[in-house]
Amino acid sequence: MQGIYKSFPGVQALENVDFELQRGEIHAIVGENGAGKSTLVKIITGVERPDNGRIELNGVPIQAKSPQNAQELGISTVYQEINLCENLSVAENILLGREPRKFGRIDWRAMQAQAKEILQHLEIDIDPTKDLGDYSIAIQQMIAIARALEISSAKVLILDEPTSSLDTHETAKLFQVMRKLKSEGLGIIFITHFIDQIYEVTDRITILRNGKLVGTYDTPALPRLELIAKMIGRVMGDFNDMVQTKLRSDQQREGGPLLQAKSLGHSGSIAPFNLDLYAGEVVGLAGLLGSGRTETAQLLFGIDKPDSGTLNMAGEDVKSFSPAGSIAKGIAFCPEDRKADGIVDELTIRENIVLAVQSNKGWAKRLTKHQQYELADKFIKMLAISTPSADQKVKNLSGGNQQKVILARWLATNPQLLILDEPTRGIDIGAKAEIQKLVLELAEEGKACLFISSELEEVLRTSHRINVLRDQQFVAEFSDAVDEHTIMQTMAGSEK
């Protein structure tokens, strides 16, 4: 692929990206959210078309018109969610649509034999007559791969986050299959957030950031630290002479912690952790995507119910976990996915801002129109939300302004603890700085704040303490005096 450009309304999703996959290699594509990984994959698989650029397969220019077309060309994809039918047999799943026929009827015996052969080729020993649902996710994943390979005489296999729901053992098994396919000359594109796995199985790495190509590297030749630095956009040389402009003031702790989590955990999303938050401080959570940052926030806010440990808020043990309960206790949560979890796009700015306050008061005690406008206008002014009036629909605002509306919704509840998950993602520099400043002002007013961001610099600037997460675990806590380099090293884990 050469010089791929793709833009969506308002966003340049890919800008002059080159990508090359060789026969018999496993090639990782990495990058944080919004880097352009999925857009690139969508272009390869024919879901999207590039605005510009050229794609060649074996030296022949191609452009897949649809995912089906891409499969015919020899490009198969296995997605994160398995698109198979649980209630059909393994053999049916593999050969669906291409069943061997005899006298116009499906030749079941031939079908089973054929399926068995395909599975054996991948060294999977299972009974193809059983229902797919009888097998574990890992096996289902491999059956999905078997199907993907069977559909076309595949030359390229794309695995999109195949390991996200697999355990260590299952992952190892998947890697075994991947290596075997590689040895047969298949080119595999492997997309994952797990750094360890990249180093375990891939030959080369292509790094994308903000829609631009950072580079393609041989895996063994690229130290982990450098990989992380390139993903999040720091140059190694910068570290030494980087001047940290810390905005924050010193905080004093008075009394006990506002929020105290003791070995709080949720299996499958975050390992048990301890966390104390004091009034007046900002605690940063650093970690790569999928490291458990968001999961921690969701646990503290009562979206997910913990299956171990205890949570104590303002001296009281939390017994029932729900967002409504958390709001009543003075916790606010500004979610990562603004569109899906944050804004109610058809409602006006005013309605979006009063939503949480109103839900906490109950439906019967409605804020009068006057009170609503007062509240909305106050925050529009305070956060400098640019809009002609409070009656604009939120969907008409820019991303940064939408983010401010959600912040306003939570500030309006006058929370004790503010959990901010990626509050500055996708908004311009000016708005970013404003939000960072706001967070520190809030801390100064005596609120506690949990600040989650994939931009390390931002975490460093705003946080009094920083917790680092890796692979769904809290791995370290740093105080004030830490530098970016140390945190990145911790995020990356040990070099093996």
- Binding residues vs another protein (CB under 8 A): 301, 303, 323-324, 326-328, 333, 335, 340-347, 351, 355-356, 358-367, 409
**CB nearer to another protein: pick between 101 and 339:** 339
Q: How far is the CB of 155 from another protein (least distance, A)?
A: 39
Q: Amino acid letter at 295?
A: E
220 C-beta neighbours (distance < 10 Å), count? 10
**CB nearer to another protein: pick between 125 and 316:** 316
Token pair listed for 408: 């306003």
**CB nearer to another protein: pick between 71 and 358:** 358
Q: How far is the CB of 336 from another protein (least distance, A)?
A: 11
Q: Tell me which DSSP letter residue 299 carries.
A: H
Q: Amino acid letter at 138?
A: A
Angle among Cα 469, 475, 479 to the nearest 5 degrees reads: 90
Q: How far is the CB of 231 from another protein (least distance, A)?
A: 28
Assign 4 to helix, strand or coil: strand
Bridge partners for 56 per DSSP? 61
Q: How far is the CB of 475 from another protein (least distance, A)?
A: 28
**CB nearer to another protein: pick between 105 and 370:** 370
Q: How far is the CB of 250 from another protein (least distance, A)?
A: 33
Residues 6+ apart with CB under 8 A from 443: 248, 251, 280, 281, 282, 449, 464
**Rama region for 36: left / alpha / beta (φ>0; ψ in -120 to 50; rest):** left
Per residue, what are the HEC states of 29-71? EECCCCCCHHHHHHHHCCCCCCCEEECEECCEECCCCCHHHHH
Q: How far is the CB of 257 from another protein (least distance, A)?
A: 24
**CB nearer to another protein: pick between 95 and 412:** 412
**CB nearer to another protein: pick between 246 and 361:** 361
Q: Tell me which DSSP letter residue 320 carries.
A: S
What CA–CA distance (Å, rounded) separates 284 from 462? Answer: 8
**CB nearer to another protein: pick between 85 and 328:** 328
Give Cα 102 to chain centroid, integer Å. 47
